[in-house]
């Protein structure tokens, strides 16, 4: 276990370098900065990971997550900046001397070896005593619930079991830092859920610092002590899952975190009426909460054009409010997802339906929705930044 510090880390892939073949066509340097030196895959990356913290890097494909992780692992050269593991500057330390272990999306097990041999391999290479190897392998197998499969070959295992072996192989080495790059992406939805829970358990049983990469916001939200949201090579926001969910710094983070996605009203206005800040949206004027008022007054915010964001679960149906036409309504057990249009905006609402007549919420029906101002997020239309951050 150790802290990990990334100071102003930057990664440039030289233009001349042969591009890594990518199966995923979307993994192109779409909006990455390109300089004379090459493609800037990661820049201005500053992060301090505490000892034993679980930090998740999350963002869409191609935003620089794997590149960052691979720089920490030592598999990718760092173009600029400083990387510390504990107090040690490790920019130029070989991967095997960094005391880290990495788990990949493709389990990368040795097919001709048994589970036991796969897990024992790195310790054998280090010429550790046999009884120590045996103890560590059995301990890891116990933690991961794969003791019964130790004699099997990988091909006789399910995807979830194989990934457990890959994790086992990493943890037998007691690494200071455990790096994981989309370890659950090859699993089906049910197994992914189960493995997510297993990772939470694993985390409480081993004393290691975790740096975990995923494009899946649910994984990020459930696993991370803190999450780092990335886009186009830049960090957008760092915070606990709650912080990022409740106070997204900009439109990108607001739209990326949360399912179903936050609703955005593109044509809203921030107004000052009789000294009070109000939001005008779709012909309706809503006075903001005390807290929002105070913050806006303090920063002397002038009237401005905004994008108003509100999460689907924060919309309420009311007698009078913004008229919305239901296009599709989905029953999801104890709640309904209503997909609606209101003026020129598409709006999704999640409505609890326990003990409620749901016939009135069918497609084609018109309802009224209400905005609780305290739950509204205000973004500058120009920059996309959250006004109240």
Ligand X SMILES: Nc1ncnc2c1ncn2[C@@H]1O[C@H](COP(=O)(O)OP(=O)(O)O)[C@@H](O)[C@H]1O
Interacting residues with ligand X (CB under 6 A):
13, 17, 19-20, 27-29, 32, 39, 41, 59, 61-67
Closest to ligand X by CB, 168 or 224? 224
Q: Which does 140 bind (CB under 5 to 8 A by kind): ligand X, Mg ion, none?
A: none
19 binds, among ligand X, Mg ion, none (CB under 5 to 8 A by kind): ligand X
The site partner of 32 among ligand X, Mg ion, none (C-beta below 5 to 8 Å per kind) is: ligand X
Cβ nearer to Mg ion, comparing 57 with 170: 57
Q: Is the peptide bond before 260 cis (omega within 30 degrees of 0)?
A: yes
Q: In what order do the strands lie in the sheet with 284-287?
A: 284-287, 276-281, 263-273, 304-310, 377-380
CA distance linking residue 306 with residue 31, whole number of Å: 24
CA distance linking residue 100 with residue 69, whole number of Å:
11
Q: Which is nearer to Mg ion, 230 or 326 (CB)?
A: 230
Tell me the closest approach of the beta carbon of residue 66 to Mg ion, in angstroms. Answer: 3
* Minimum CB distance to ligand X, residue 228 (Å): 11
Measured on CA atoms in the order 350, 351, 352, 358, is the torsion positive or negative?
Answer: negative
Between 66 and 176, name the residue whose CB sits nearer to Mg ion.
Answer: 66
Least distance between Mg ion and beta carbon 363 (Å): 39
Q: Which residue lies nearer to Mg ion by CB, 218 or 301? A: 218
First to last CA, the chain: 33
Minimum CB separation from ligand X for residue 224, in Å? 16
Q: Report in angstroms the alpha-carbon separations of 6 from 90, 141, 332, 359.
A: 10, 32, 43, 55
Whether the Cβ atoms of residue 345 and residue 354 lie closer than 8 Å to each other: no
> Do 375 and 302 form a contact (C-beta atoms < 8 A)?
no
Tell me how far, at minimum, the Cβ of 157 lies from ligand X, in Å: 26
Taking the least distance from each CB to ligand X, the nearer of 39 and 286 is 39
CB of 96 to ligand X, least distance (A): 21
What is the spatial order of strands in the sheet that 177-181 belongs to?
A: 100-103, 177-181, 209-214, 54-58, 226-231, 234-239
């Amino acid at each position: 276990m150790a802290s990990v510090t990334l100071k102003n880390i930057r990664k440039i892939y030289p233009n001349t370098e042969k591009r890594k073949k990518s199966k995923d066509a979307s993994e192109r340097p779409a909006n990455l900065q390109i300089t004379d030196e090459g493609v800037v895959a990661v820049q201005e990356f500053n992060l301090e990971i505490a000892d034993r913290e679980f930090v998740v890097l999350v963002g869409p494909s191609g935003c620089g997550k794997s590149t960052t992780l691979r720089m920490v692992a030592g598999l990718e050269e760092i173009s600029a900046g400083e990387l510390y593991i504990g107090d040690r500057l490790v920019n130029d330390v070989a991967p095997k001397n960094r005391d880290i272990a990495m788990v990949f999306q493709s389990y990368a097990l040795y097919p001709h070896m048994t589970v036991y041999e796969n897990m024992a391999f790195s310790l054998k290479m280090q010429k550790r005593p046999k009884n120590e190897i045996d103890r560590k392998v059995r301990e890891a197998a116990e933690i991961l619930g794969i003791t019964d499969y130790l004699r099997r070959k990988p091909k006789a295992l399910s995807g979830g079991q194989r990934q457990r072996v890959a994790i086992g192989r990493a943890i037998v080495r007691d690494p200071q830092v455990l790096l994981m790059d989309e370890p659950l992406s090859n699993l089906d939805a049910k197994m992914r859920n189960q493995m997510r829970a297993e990772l939470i358990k694993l985390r409480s049983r081993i004393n290691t610092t975790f740096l975990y990469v995923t494009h899946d916001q649910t994984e990020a939200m459930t696993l991370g002590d803190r999450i780092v949201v990335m886009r186009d090579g830049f960090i957008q926001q760092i915070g606990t899952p709650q912080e990022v969910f409740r106070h997204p710094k900009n439109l990108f983070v607001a739209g990326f975190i949360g399912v179903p996605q936050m609703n955005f009203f593109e044509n809203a206005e921030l107004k000052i009426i009789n000294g009070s800040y109000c939001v005008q949206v779709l012909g309706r004027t809503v006075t903001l909460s005390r807290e929002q008022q105070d913050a806006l007054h303090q920063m002397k915010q002038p009237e401005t054009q905004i994008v108003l964001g509100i999460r689907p679960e924060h919309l309420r149906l009311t007698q009078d409010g913004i008229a919305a036409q239901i296009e599709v309504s989905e029953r999801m057990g104890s709640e309904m997802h209503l997909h609606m249009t209101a003026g020129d905006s598409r709006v999704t609402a999640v409505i609890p339906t326990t003990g409620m007549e749901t016939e009135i919420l069918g497609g084609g029906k018109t309802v009224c929705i209400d905005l609780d101002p305290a739950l509204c997020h205000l973004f500058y239309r120009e920059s996309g930044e959250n006004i109240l951050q």
